[in-house]
Amino acid sequence: MPSLGRIRRALSTFLVLASISVWAHASSATLLLEEPYGKLGFFAATGHAAVYLSGVCAETPLKLRPCAPGELGVVISRYDGVSGYDWVAIPLIPYLYAVDGTDEIPLFADAKLVNFLRDQYRRKHLEEAVPDLESGAAPGGNWYELVGSSYDRTVYAFEIETTEAKDAEFIEKYNAAENRSHFRTVSHNCADFAKDVINFYYPRSLHRSVVADVGITTPKQMAKTMMKYSAHHPELKFARWVIPQIPGSLARSAPVHGVVESFLKSKKYIVPSAIVSPVFAGCVVAVYVGTGAGRFDPSKQALVYNAERGLQPPLGDEDRRAFQLELNHFMASHPAAERADLWFDPFGKSGTRVEKWGRLLHDAAPELDSDGRPVLRLHEGADVVSLGVAASNILDSHAPEQLTQKVLEARLQSELRKGNAPKVSESDVEHDWNLLQQVSGPDTEVARTRSGLQPGMRGGNRP
């Protein structure tokens, strides 16, 4: 008999399938524009490109097939250094979160938890493409970028309708072709692959920019040309949405740029160039202004994606301020002895003492519960307790109530913080407020605060 967790997972996946697409039929192709992060984001802010196909699924990570009813499709992408393969196909939810079901997605993440979830998924589903080392340890290389993309960066999605017939042609072509990597940063990169996939469905729809990107195919240029193509073909249903980066201690990703834009906006490049050759620097500025490289905003008019609630309008500024005031009031009035920023800076500022709750999380060991959902094993004195990490199990925790409450407070703080890209919808915030209310109890200040607000008392966008 299936467990309650499996039934809940199947139901939530069905609801996502019903809401993620903006048209009645299931076939669509979505260009994913992914922000840069880490060292690559410092040296070259062009980011990454992939394609999500809602009507194409994976028989294996290396073999495609048509989707069965209830399946969400795959993200197909090119990465360098993944066992010599040119492309690998990963189901949507694992690609974004490194878990199988929506009820397993963590509310927050640090490097230890992310590494654990990625390796768990690899051992379960990716052994063919990314096998263990002889020692049994996880291999090196860029395979980790195949799963859990939303832990590292914000992703912008540009979705256009397709047909089942074209999906069938795509499957036949890519299954028959040799899947061996010829990756080259300049001429055969991830954006080139995404361009080829979208152009298979709509020939010559995407193209590189010889001027703005000096002939290199970039993710941002692919998004710009896809927007232009959709504007010229209003008969094709089109949508744009943003997939927020999961809150946590991992560094936030950076805005995505083209080649010339990246050069101009980086002081480490443009300042020495201006000193050595003002004429060259002036040419860079002229290209930037003339091509309008900086005017494209991937988040403009974008809906916010939530794996359990689908696509919804982003939280408006007035609503965000109202929610922030509510949270500030609760945190100021709640009788907590100490407040750590938990995962954003779990050891406090440089040179200060280690906070109790931050130390607990830092020393915690990630595991899976009986339904496959992530938990953290914590040492509370002589006892070992578990803290549920997902929304579906955080209230089932045996961890100290104060810790669970602080986790939810910190998540709300992250969601309400201003940023370049939309982070959250109103229903997302309401959902997390509800969790916080359940942790705090019906007689707490947060419960009284929330119950006193009726719909329409806050301004801004409502789903």
Q: How many Cα atoms sit within 13 Å of 330 on the Cβ side?
A: 25
String of DSSP letters for 110-175? -HHHHHHHHHHHHHHH-TTTSPPPTTSPPP-SGGGGGS-HHHH--EEEEEEE--HHHHHHHHHHHH
Q: What sign results for the dihedral spanned by CA atoms 239, 298, 314, 247? A: positive
* Structure confidence at residue 38 (pLDDT): 79
| pLDDT attached to residue 5 | 46
Question: Which residues is 303 bridged to in the sheet?
Answer: 241
- Write down the number of H helices and E strands in the chain: 16, 13
Where on the phi/psi map is residue 49: left (φ > 0), alpha (ψ -120 to 50), or beta? beta
The angle formed by the CA atoms of residues 41, 189 and 205, to the nearest 5 degrees, is: 110
User: What is d(CA 68, CA 70) in angstroms, rounded to the nearest whole number?
Assistant: 6
Whether 439 and 408 have beta carbons less than 8 Å apart is answered as: yes
What 8-state DSSP symbol labels residue 139? P
Each of the 463 residues of the chain gets a pLDDT tens digit; together they read 444 444 444 444 444 444 444 443 469 999 999 999 876 554 467 889 999 999 999 999 999 999 999 899 999 999 887 888 999 999 999 999 999 999 999 999 989 999 999 999 999 999 888 888 888 888 887 889 999 999 999 999 999 999 999 999 999 999 999 999 887 777 789 999 999 999 999 999 999 876 566 678 899 999 999 999 999 999 999 999 999 999 988 888 988 886 666 655 555 554 455 554 565 455 555 555 556 656 788 999 999 999 999 999 999 999 999 999 998 888 877 655 444 444 444 433 433 444 566 677 778 899 999 999 999 998 877 788 889 999 999 998 778 888 888 889 889 999 998 887 888 999 999 999 999 988 876 554 444 444 444 333 333 332 2
Residue 318: phi and psi, rounded to 5, are -65, -40
**Alpha helix stretches (DSSP H) within 301-384:** 317-333, 356-362
Would you list the domain boundaries of the chain? 4-258+293-305, 313-451
Position 279: which residue type?
Answer: V
pLDDT attached to residue 25: 46
Contacts of 66 (CB under 8 A, 6+ apart): 55, 56, 57, 164, 167, 168, 171
